[in-house]
Amino acid sequence: MSFYTALPEPVTEMQQGDLLTDLPFGHFPLTGVKVQLSSGEITTCDLISNRQTIEFITAKVEFGWGMVLSQTCDIQLDSKTGFARRPILVARVRPIKALVAAFNDNSSKSARDSVDKLATAGKSPTLLYLPAHQNENVDFPRSGAYLLDVQRFYGDELFPLLKQVRLRISDAALQALQERCAYCFGRFAAPDGLYYSEEEKRKESGI
Element (DSSP H or E) covering residue 89? strand 88-95
User: What CATH number does domain 10-24+65-186 carry, 3.40.190.10, 3.30.40.230, 3.30.460.80, 2.30.30.110?
Assistant: 2.30.30.110
Burial class (CB in 10 A: 0-12, 13-18, 19+), 118: middle
**How far apart are alpha carbons 17 and 115 in whole angstroms?**
19
pLDDT in tens, 41-97: 898 888 877 667 888 888 889 999 999 999 999 999 888 888 999 999 999 999 999
pLDDT in tens, 147-158: 999 999 999 999
Please give the model's pTM, rounded to 2 decimal places: 0.85
